[in-house]
């Protein structure tokens, strides 16, 4: 989520953040991961200091029954990769999982996957690839998902992908073929990019994938419990005329 206020393109103020947390609670969410964007334009020290300040402003107003975990959504291109020790400081609190955002529309460089492999191998941390349904390279070549799994990555999909017309075919193909390990709201605001986990869950259940949804919840809980979670590569997703 992008609930921490004044840090990125998420919650514009503390009042908005509090209301967003209320929406999470109303939908049965008990643990909220606060993952503001980190683009490397500021030092990790400065980012962490600003993140802590945002959390302190919000802390006294967190609804009962909701726990916040701090982290970051780290933009990773494979070029000018930050120091690994510094990167690991941005992992999701209490875990060895780090949410990684890859380039959306531009072509991935030949260095990207090797750099991701080096990071995972050298640190033992698990890259969680954010909202894979939005990357041009993945949509164009779904077989790249197996390469990401081989690197040691987990795959995250946004809840809205299961209900939005332009994304749902691919999202359900990922779920069917075993390439969804985490589902998140990616909540930014109260309107266009709000919390809507229950609608996504209902859509998944109507499609006959209730067990898959529960398996994803179990995987996320194991990650939050500090367990080492390794994914098996799913069956290949193939691109066909008009769908996947």
Helix, strand or coil, per DSSP, at residue 132? helix
- Over residues 28-83, the pLDDT tens digits come to 999 999 999 999 888 999 999 999 999 999 999 999 999 999 999 999 998 877 78
**Distance (Å, rounded) from C-alpha 94 to C-alpha 16?**
26
Contact of 153 with 128, CB cutoff 8 Å: yes
Q: Is 156 left (phi over 0), alpha (psi -120 to 50) or beta?
A: beta
- Over residues 163-220, the pLDDT tens digits come to 999 999 999 999 999 999 999 999 999 888 888 899 999 999 999 999 999 999 999 9
Q: Which of 76, 57, 77 is nearest to 68 (CA)?
A: 57
């Amino acid at each position: 989520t992008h609930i921490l206020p004044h840090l990125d393109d998420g919650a514009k103020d503390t009042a908005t953040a509090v209301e967003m947390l209320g929406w999470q609670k109303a939908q049965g969410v008990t643990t909220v991961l606060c993952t503001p964007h980190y683009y490397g334009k500021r030092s990790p020290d400065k980012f962490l200091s600003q993140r802590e300040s945002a959390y302190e402003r919000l802390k006294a107003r967190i609804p009962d029954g909701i726990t916040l975990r701090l982290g970051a959504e780290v933009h990773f291109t494979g070029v000018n990769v930050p120091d690994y020790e510094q990167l690991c400081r941005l992992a999701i609190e209490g875990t060895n999982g780090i949410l990684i955002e890859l380039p959306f529309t531009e072509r991935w460089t030949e260095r990207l996957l090797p750099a991701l492999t080096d990071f995972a191998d050298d640190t033992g941390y698990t890259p969680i690839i954010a909202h894979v349904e939005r990357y041009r390279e993945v949509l164009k070549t779904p077989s790249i998902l197996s390469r990401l799994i081989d690197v040691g990555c987990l795959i995250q999909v946004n809840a809205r992908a299961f209900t939005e017309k332009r994304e749902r075919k691919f999202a359900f193909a990922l779920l069917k073929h075993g390439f969804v390990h985490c589902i998140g709201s990616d909540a930014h605001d109260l309107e266009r990019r709000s919390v809507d986990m229950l609608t996504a869950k209902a859509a998944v259940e109507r499609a006959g994938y209730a067990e898959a949804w529960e398996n994803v919840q179990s995987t996320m809980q194991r990650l939050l419990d500090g367990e080492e979670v390794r994914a098996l590569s799913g069956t290949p997703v193939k691109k066909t005329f008009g769908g996947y």
